[in-house]
Amino acid sequence: MNCLPFLIPALVLAACGAAPSAADGGRPTLLTGVKVRFPAAPADSFLSLVTAQGESVYQLPVPAGATALAVNPARWAGASARAQELSTLLPAGMVAGSLASGTSAGKVTLLEWLMWRDHNTNGARDAGEVLPLMSHDRVVYSTEATDVSFRSTAPEMQQRWTFKAGWSRAEHYVYLPLNSTTYQRSLSSTATERYTLHEPTPLTSQ
């Protein structure tokens, strides 16, 4: 998992999605364009971008042994038509009455990457074929600049979602302030279009 921990007074922070340091201790290799990283892929693997309901909007084969792929945002641009009221995408554990909007909340599409292995080589993603890899980051489309905050439970968490208008990568960032039981989590548009799939971790982890 590509996570870089930082220790600063009063806070323990962590961030994912950043490029790892080079093996020789020098600068990390910089990626250009939109790319997805993952552990070495087994044969007959595919990378899919899916909705919360698991419907694929973009898919491409992954060469055996590959650890990264360049992807083409133009191929999933049509998914902007799936944008819906943000309130329908908020977690079930949101505390009633805690939703606050800093700016107008537009309609939003949230998509996530997954990898699967076509065991029966039928070209379709069947039950049991999804590999145990995930990312807390999302591919997001928003009809306008959006800034909302809310509280959620299990665990206690103060969340803030900030999305720019159009398509972007929404980066997940979470930390637990010292002497607090309430996590602080953000999901925010970032200019860096790099995604990293890793072993499943809870929302309180990067």
pTM: 0.82
Looking at per-residue confidence, does 5 or 148 come out higher? 148
Cβ–Cβ < 8 Å for 26, 62: no
pLDDT > 80? residue 5:
no
pLDDT > 80? residue 7:
no
146: confidence class by pLDDT, cuts 50, 70, 90: very high
pLDDT > 90? residue 149:
yes
d(CA 139, CA 170): 6
pLDDT > 60? residue 21:
no
What are φ and ψ of residue 86, in 5° steps? Answer: -60, -35
The per-residue pLDDT for range 28-72, each reduced to its tens digit, is 444 458 999 999 999 999 999 999 999 999 999 999 999 999 999
What's the start-to-end Cα distance of the chain, in Å?
8
| Contacts of residue 204, Cβ cutoff 8 Å, sequence gap at least 6 | 155, 157, 174, 176, 183
Which residue carries 């998992």 as its tokens? 1
Cβ–Cβ < 8 Å for 56, 139: no
| Percent residues over pLDDT 70 in the chain | 83
| Percent residues over pLDDT 90 in the chain | 73
pLDDT > 70? residue 23:
no
> Taking all residues of the chain, what is their mean pLDDT, rounded to a whole number?
87
> Could you count the other beta carbons within 10 Å of the beta carbon of residue 105?
20
206: confidence class by pLDDT, cuts 50, 70, 90: low
pLDDT > 80? residue 81:
yes
Cβ–Cβ < 8 Å for 71, 60: yes
pLDDT > 60? residue 13:
no
For the record, the structure tokens of 58 come out as 């973009």
